[in-house]
Chain A
Amino acid sequence: AQSVTQLGSHVSVSEGALVLLRCNYSSSVPPYLFWYVQYPNQGLQLLLKYTSAATLVKGINGFEAEFKKSETSFHLTKPSAHMSDAAEYFCAVRPPGNQFYFGTGTSLTVIP
């Protein structure tokens, strides 16, 4: 069975601080992994994706994520939070096949 667990439904950071959003997955085969961001009243926007190339993936808006097979993790980070980063973030896994499995999301608040 495939699943995605996002630890922490709400994360608050100060502006300029490190952002760390956690994602762990379970998959019977090596999956492909994604991070999406959702701003209020908008659809999901792809931040980055891991497709079995480099384990450190760089995305848009300064975000990056590292695939760690031994830990079955794909945590999202950004060195310095900006007010515009406040949004809902979703981790998703896609085992071979066409179906995506999304986590329940982490709401990021940036404190000025």
Chain B
Amino acid sequence: ETGVTQSPTHLIKTRGQQVTLRCSSQSGHNTVSWYQQALGQGPQFIFQYYREEENGRGNFPPRFSGLQFPNYSSELNVNALELDDSALYLCASSLVRDTLTDTQYFGPGTRLTVL
């Protein structure tokens, strides 16, 4: 059983650019959540996808968008990058829609630096 994987591991972009981060869910999981973890902070919820549809969103602007594919892998897209977008981006997958009763499995994250 493979765990949650994310790519790339590290990424450097400049202000105004666009970025796509990728996440492969743990085998059999149908729900994926994305989090932003700024340096010295706890993760902040960006959004969640369940069976290819957005199922909840945190307090992030529309330039943060996502996709979930039929194989339940997912992408996080960020347009018009700002310096404050520099952070560790975490993906977490779980089996059922209600993540309360099921454990979220986190990937190692993608470190994004915006210059």
| A residues in contact (CB < 8 Å) with B | 4, 9, 32, 36, 41-46, 49, 51, 90, 92, 94, 97-105
Give the residues in chain A near B92, CB-CB below 8 Å: 43-44
Rounded to whole angstroms, the CA-CA distance of A4 and B40 in the bound complex is 15
Q: Tell me if A102 and B43 are in contact (CB < 8 A).
A: yes
Give B residues with C-beta under 8 Å from A: 4, 33, 35, 40-45, 48, 55-56, 58, 90, 92, 97-101, 103-109
Nearest neighbor of B4 in chain A, beta-carbon distance: A43
- CA A104 – CA B43 in complex, angstroms? 8
- Assembled-state Cα–Cα distance A90/B104 (Å): 14
Give the complex CA separation of A92 and B97 in angstroms. 18
* Bound CA–CA A52/B45 (angstroms): 23
Q: Most chain-A Cβ atoms within 10 A of its Cβ — which of B42, B55, B58?
A: B42
Judge whether B48 and A43 touch: CB under 8 Å.
Answer: no
**Pick the contact of B106 from A4, A45, A103 — CB < 8 Å?**
A45
- Give the complex CA separation of A100 and B98 in angstroms: 12
CB-based contact B48/A98 at 8 Å:
yes
**A44–B45 touching, CB < 8 Å:** no
Of the A-B pairs whose beta carbons lie under 8 Å apart in the complex, a sample of 6, sorted by A's number, is: A41-B108, A42-B108, A44-B43, A97-B56, A99-B45, A100-B45
Asked if B42 contacts A103 (CB within 8 A), the reply is yes
Question: Which of A32, A94, A97, A104 interacts with B42 by CB under 8 Å?
Answer: A104
Which of B43, B98, B105, B109 makes the CB contact (< 8 A) with A98? B98
Contact present for A94 and B108 (CB under 8 Å): no
Asked whether, in the complex, the Cβ of A105 is within 8 Å of the Cβ of B108, the reply is no
Q: Counting chain B CB atoms within 10 Å of each CB, which of A45, A51, A100 scores highest?
A: A100
Contact call A99/B56, Cβ cutoff below 8 A: yes
